[in-house]
Amino acid sequence: MWLTRNAIERPFLTALLITALLVLGAASWRRLPVDLNPQASLPNVVVTAIFPGASPATVEELLARPFEDALRGVRGVEHVFSVSQESFCYCYVALRDGTAPDEALERCREAIGRIRGDLPEGMQEPAFTRLDINAQPVVFLGVTGQRPLEELRRLAEEALKPRLEAVPGVSEVAVIGGRQREIAIEVDREALLARGLLLSQLLEPLRASHRTVPGGRLQGGREELAVRVLGEFETLEDIRQVAIPPEFDPAKLMQLRRPPAREPSRATRLGDVAEVRAVTVQPEVRIRLQQREAVGLVVTKQGTANTVEVSRGVRAVVAAAGLPQDLEVLVARDTALTVKEALDDVNASIVIGVLLCALSIFLFLRNWHGTLIVATSMPVCLVGTFAFMVFGDHTLNQMTLLGLAISVGILVDDSIVCLEAITWRLQRGEPAAEAAFRGRNDIALADTSTTMIDLAVFAPIAFMGGVVGQFFHDLGFVVAVAAGLSLLAAYTVVPALAAYWYTRNPPRFGASSSEAAYASLEERYRRLLEWALGHRRLVLCSAWGGLALVALLAAQRVGVDFVPAADLSTVVVNLERPAGSSYDATEAVVAQAEAMIAALPEVATLFSTIGKIESGFGIVNRLGPEYAQISVTLRDRRGLLDRLLLRGYELRRRSDSAVADELRLKLNGLGDSRWQVIAVHGWSGAGAPVDFSLYGSDLERMAAVGSELARRLDTTPLLVNVDPSWRLGQPELQVRLDRRAAGELNVFPAAVGREVRTAIEGEQGLTMELGGEIVPVRLRLRAADRTTPDDLARLPVSKATGGLVTLGEVASITRGAGATRIDRRDGQRDLNFKAYLAEGISLGEARVEVERHLAALGVAREGQVAPANSRYPDLRWGWRGDADTLAQSSGHMARTALLGLVLTYGVMAVLFNSAVHPLTILLSVPIAIAGALLALALTGSSLSIVSGIGMILLLGIVVRNAILLIDHILLLRGQGIPQREAVTESGARRLRPILMTSITTILGMLPVALRIGKGAEIRAPMAIAVIGGLLLSTLLTLVIVPVTYTVIDDWRARRSSRRA
């Protein structure tokens, strides 16, 4: 081939081109962004809205339902989920495959905009976002010190937040916790009643008195002056002096027209009916860091930003902030450390894999020159891949580096086969240059075939559909590029170096202990193969029967998970107090729990949030003063590499699950609270792996079956922390209008609702500058007038015909209980269940258990018909979360595997010009699958999307050995050698390259399989599956494939003779 000939004849040109590729790859490596996961565009839109003071039922009625109706009609929307909590509405819009998320977001914004006028007053503007797996919080900071919380917050907002927002790659900095200043206008109810005023009547004069109005430009003489009417408040006294007319036209007042004339002495000032003062208020979320009250700063990065660089910039800002010495800024969490540790682990696996491959090559070849020739191809392929990653807009993440790690052994296969063919010709006395050229041509078809098959298998992974496909897109791309570069190296680098070095230093061939051992192995294999050819029926029946039995037994022992569980050194503790609990009561219990948790030697830091519970990807799962979440960061765990290097004795010994189990026992029953202790595993953070929903139109029947199901699931040992979404018992005051009395007095519900909302929650529509700080202004009843139901009954409300009545005259006020959270799905109430897996239980086992209980209750799955004897024929249930994603991903992976098989067959059919021989080669695939299942079972690993990708990779790896055998058999048969002799000779001739390529591939992946570093449990099953499949396939392919070839060849011969 001209490429190989030119590489041999012009070695310096080859060296120059290879050097250029290495330099380009190294430069590209420095430019690549660093992140934990690949860039993934999740098919969703999230709409959130805040309606301060509204109960979950009110949020559902006034926000969730209108949102759902508007969003379901948007093109590309598949499902709409909503969660209504106190003051908060969360809508998750699931998009159909192929829908552009950015375009869908704009369509959702337009749909909500069309109904904006129908939404209630007081609702803040809806926010439209997308869940971006890469645009996540990177650094969690805590500011503590011996200062009031309001001062800590002010310093965080003024000294830290602007500087952090200026860090390249930062998209948002949120300040949480602490206390905020507020201008409180606290109205005296009795003063209102005495003057015949409504609370809402104070709002328009207040707003009209706080305006700066441009007056245009005054031109005269030589100067031109801008005119402004300065009317904004400058002091609290300015607010107190606002005049409140007893009757006025709000529209006219807002237009700055003069109200009806009246006696100045009778004018009511705001200060006559209200106290105006600056106060500090506790926000809805409180923060504690290391058992102390703190102010938190959450730094979120842009989706395409470099996580490590953002973290470095944030830490630099904190170090140079120049805060007072009595303040301390602590890093509660830094995901860049997790990223760096994960990438360092993969990098270490790559280096160790390269060294192991080089060592195995040397042990086979016993030749340093040959070892260096093959080893040189590895950095060429690995570093050269970085150049293609830059042009493909990829990042350095655990998937791209994992692709390189598992490619280490694959990369040298082409070079090993090429060098072995060259060495074989050198042993027969051919000159080095001629041996390099002819040896390369000897295996050109087989080598090209294997690489083309690699591309046929790996490329579909890069284009696999679904969310999981986006995660593994980078892996498929990297392995495909590396495989292509390995073929290029085998055509150029290996023959050029072989010709150059072996011309100057011819290899020595002679008897040695290693050669004698290999000769003995080769002779034993030859005899085994001859025996197998003489007992073909016995060999094939026993082999395939044994494989089927092994695969069946292994499959029964292997669990099924979405993502393998990994020890990420994080435990999350969720707390739920009785409904109606105050922030102070919840914080007191959190303080007790923190003291118990901090006593454990494995604990490094504690970061507590009072007022909300978050699950995966920052989704707020629970909101309210009765909720809290403690994020526990554990010390790093001592890993395999630490034990091998005799270091890390101070590191953690127990697993995160063991620590979580102890905390669960300690916290159970503390503070009359409900506790969830979660060891965070996998990609979804603290999200529950078991997630399913009941839905229907009959709320009572849903509640009945939900209660029974919750009781059943609480007793199963497979699940922990079973959590139904509905909670009853949230205490509330229910104001019911007396229609007869209200009608007689001309009082309308809208007017009542406005007055009640203003009295309790207050109105915040203004801000003013006070002491150099922009402070919100809130108007509502004073605290003494909004404490009891009787206080509420004395609230003045307006009559449509003029005049006032009290609320108690037209409405009854009673105590009641409502839901703390209301879930909906596509217009129906949705009772969602979440649960976590007990130690050692797989998601597949939990799914079977949940489905068994649902079947026992007679609830049909969505899309299915209910049984005839079902007690709940109108209810349905469906999987959500990991189980649903796993089901969708399994379909995408099955289609990818099928496409890989079809492409593999097509490539081999073209290259071999035969429709039969590729079928013989593909027999190695089921052998490999059986080996993969056996390896997973023996190592206690589960069958997941990660190990599933490993099995897809096997399709391209295991056929290499069979291709080498069949290619040489066909070559000898073409030279007229009889069938049996050709088969035995080809087996013996190809034994060395098959063993070398298999062993180097296994050794290259071994560091990944050994779970060396932090989070390596997620990556290891892929390597375990490949190693197990390749090991069993190599052992059996050497016998089964040649025997099967002879059976098929004899059948074709008989068929041809009958036709003749």
Using alpha carbons only, give the angle 17, 23, 24 rounded to the nearest 5 degrees. 90
Tell me the per-residue pLDDT of 627-665, one tens digit each, with 9 for 90 and over: 999 999 999 888 777 777 777 778 888 988 899 989 988
pLDDT of residue 256: 40
DSSP string, 655-719: -HHHHHHHHHHHHTTGGG-EEEEEE--SSSTT--SEEEEEEES-HHHHHHHHHHHHHHHHH-TTE
Residue 672 CA from chain centroid, whole number: 34
Structural contact between residues 1023 and 1009, judged by C-beta atoms closer than 8 angstroms: yes
pLDDT at res. 250: 42
Read off the amino acid at residue 669: G
Span 1000-1011, mean pLDDT?
Answer: 87
- The residue ranges of every structural domain in the chain are 1-31+367-504, 43-130, 182-212+232-281+731-818, 514-557+914-1060, 567-680
CB atoms within 10 A of CB 110: 11
Give, in degrees to the nearest 5, the angle at Cα 848 between 844 and 854: 140
pLDDT reported for residue 730: 65
**Gyration radius of the chain's alpha carbons:** 36
Q: Is 330 exposed, middle or buried (0-12, 13-18, 19+ CB in 10 A)?
A: middle
Between CA 522 and CA 514 the distance in angstroms is: 12
Quick one: average pLDDT of 475-479? 87
**pLDDT of 1017:** 82
Q: Which residue has the higher pLDDT, 61 or 401?
A: 61
3-state helix, strand, coil in the chain (%, to 5): 55, 20, 25
Q: Phi and psi for 968 in degrees, rounded to 5? A: -75, -35
**1025 has pLDDT over 90:** yes
Cα–Cα distance, 391 to 381 (Å, whole number)? 16
Given a contact cutoff of 8 angstroms between Cβ atoms, the answer to whether 226 and 217 are in contact is yes
Q: What is the pLDDT of residue 959?
A: 86
Percent of the chain with pLDDT over 90: 22
Condensed to tens digits (0 to 9), the pLDDT of residues 190-220 reads 998 888 888 888 888 888 888 888 888 887 7
Q: Tell me the C-alpha to C-alpha distance, in Å, between residue 369 and each of 409, 501, 836.
A: 19, 7, 55
Angle at 659 between CA 656 and CA 661, to 5 degrees: 110
Q: Decide if 1021 contacts 950 (C-beta within 8 A).
A: yes
Is the pLDDT at 410 greater than 80? The verdict is: no
What architecture does CATH give domain 43-130? 2-Layer Sandwich (3.30)
Question: One fold for both 1-31+367-504 and 182-212+232-281+731-818?
Answer: no
Least confident among 7-11, 25-29, 260-264, 350-354: 260-264
- CA count, 13 A, side-chain hemisphere, 568: 27
Give the span between the Cα atoms of 753 and 756, in whole angstroms. 5
Q: Which CATH architecture has domain 567-680?
A: 2-Layer Sandwich (3.30)
pLDDT of residue 852: 92
DSSP-H helix ranges across 492-560: 493-504, 513-534, 536-557
Angle at 475 between CA 470 and CA 481, to 5 degrees: 125
Phi and psi for 227 in degrees, rounded to 5? -115, 130
- Nearest by Cα to 986 from 974, 961, 968, 964: 968
Q: Which of 663, 691, 659 is nearest to 675 (CA)?
A: 663
> Is 693 in contact with 832 (CB distance < 8 Å)?
yes
Three-state DSSP class for residue 865: coil
Q: pLDDT tens, 801-859?
A: 778 888 998 999 888 777 778 888 888 888 889 888 888 888 888 999 999 999 888 88
Which pLDDT score is estimated for 868? Answer: 79
How far CA 442 is from CA of 427, 429, 445, 877, in Å, comes to 15, 16, 8, 61
Find the farthest-apart pair of alpha carbons in the chain and give their distance in angstroms, rounded: 126
Quick check: 521 pLDDT over 80? yes
> 254 pLDDT exceeds 50?
no
The mean pLDDT of the chain is: 85
The predicted model gives 259-279 an average pLDDT of 74
Q: Look up tokens 């290899």; give the residue.
A: 507
Amino acid, res. 345:
D
* Average pLDDT of the residues in 440-464: 81
Interval 483-501 mean pLDDT: 86
User: Quick one: average pLDDT of 990-997?
Assistant: 86
Band the pLDDT of 782: cuts 50, 70, 90. Answer: very high
Place of tokens 């069946």: 552
Distance of CA 211 to the CA centre of its chain: 47
Asked whether the predicted pLDDT for residue 266 surpasses 70, the reply is no
Q: Judge contact between 543 and 924, C-beta under 8 A.
A: no
**Can you read off the two tokens belonging to residue 517?**
């051992």
Give the pLDDT confidence of 348-362 residue by residue, as tens digits: 888 888 888 888 888
67: confidence class by pLDDT, cuts 50, 70, 90:
very high
> Within the chain, how many helices (H) and strands (E) appear?
37, 31
- From residue 675, alpha-carbon distances to 628, 667, 895 in Å are 10, 7, 42
CA 678/CA 673 separation, integer angstroms: 16
Closest CA to 378 of 392, 352, 362, 358: 358
Walk across the sheet containing 763-770 and list its strands: 274-281, 180-187, 773-781, 763-770
CA distances to 214, 215, 217, 224, 225 from 221, rounded to whole Å, are 21, 19, 13, 8, 11
19: tokens are 């050097």
Beta bridge partners of 805: 797
Q: Please, which pLDDT band fits residue 684 given cuts at 50, 70 and 90?
A: low
- Position 729 pLDDT exceeds 80: no
d(CA 481, CA 389): 9
Per-residue pLDDT, 821: 82
pLDDT (tens digit per residue) in 886-901: 888 888 888 888 988 8
- Say which amino acid occupies 336: A
Helix (H, G, I), strand (E, B) or coil at 50: strand
Question: Count of CB atoms within 10 A of residue 1045's CB?
Answer: 26
How many angstroms from the chain centroid is the CA of residue 529? 50
Higher pLDDT, 579 or 1014: 579
CA-based end-to-end distance of the chain = 39
**Fold assignment, 514-557+914-1060:** Multidrug efflux transporter AcrB transmembrane fold (1.20.1640)
Instruction: Read off the pLDDT of each residue in 428-444 and give the average, rounded to a whole number.
Output: 84
Give residue-wise pLDDT tens across range 562-611: 888 788 888 999 998 887 788 999 999 999 999 999 999 999 999 999 99
Superfamily of domain 1-31+367-504: Multidrug efflux transporter AcrB transmembrane domain (1.20.1640.10)
Burial class of residue 719 (count of CB atoms within 10 Å of its CB; 0-12, 13-18, 19+)? buried
- Percent of the chain at pLDDT > 70 equals 95
Q: Rounded mean pLDDT of 503-511?
A: 70
Q: Cβ atoms within 10 A of the Cβ of 644, count?
A: 10
CA distances 890 to 404, 555, 707, 897, Å, are: 24, 16, 32, 10
Residues 255-263: contacts with CB under 8 Å, at least 24 apart: 256/208, 256/213
Q: Which residues contact 622 (CB under 8 A, 6 or more apart)?
A: 85, 574, 576, 612, 613, 820, 821
Place of tokens 């809805």: 284
**Which candidate, 929, 930, 924, places its Cα nearest to that of 551?**
930
> How far, in Å, CA of 896 to CA of 472, rounded?
12
Q: Dump pLDDT digits (tens) for 1026-1052.
A: 999 999 999 888 999 999 999 998 888
Query: Alpha-carbon distance 576 to 793, whole Å?
Result: 32
Q: Where are the beta strands (DSSP E) in 127-256?
A: 127-129, 137-145, 170-177, 180-187, 213-220, 223-229, 243-244
Q: How far apart are CA 414 and CA 443, in angstroms?
A: 9
| Token output for 907 | 């490539």
Residue 374 identity: V
Structurally, at CATH architecture level, domain 182-212+232-281+731-818 sits in: 2-Layer Sandwich (3.30)
CB count within 10 Å of CB 366 equals 16
Q: Model confidence at 257, in pLDDT bands (50, 70, 90)?
A: very low
Whether residue 910 is predicted with pLDDT greater than 80 in this model: the reply is yes
Phi, psi of 221 (to 5 degrees): 65, -130
How far from 726 is each of 190, 596, 616, 823, CA to CA, in Å?
40, 30, 19, 8
Q: How many angstroms separate the CA atoms of 485 and 458, rounded?
A: 14
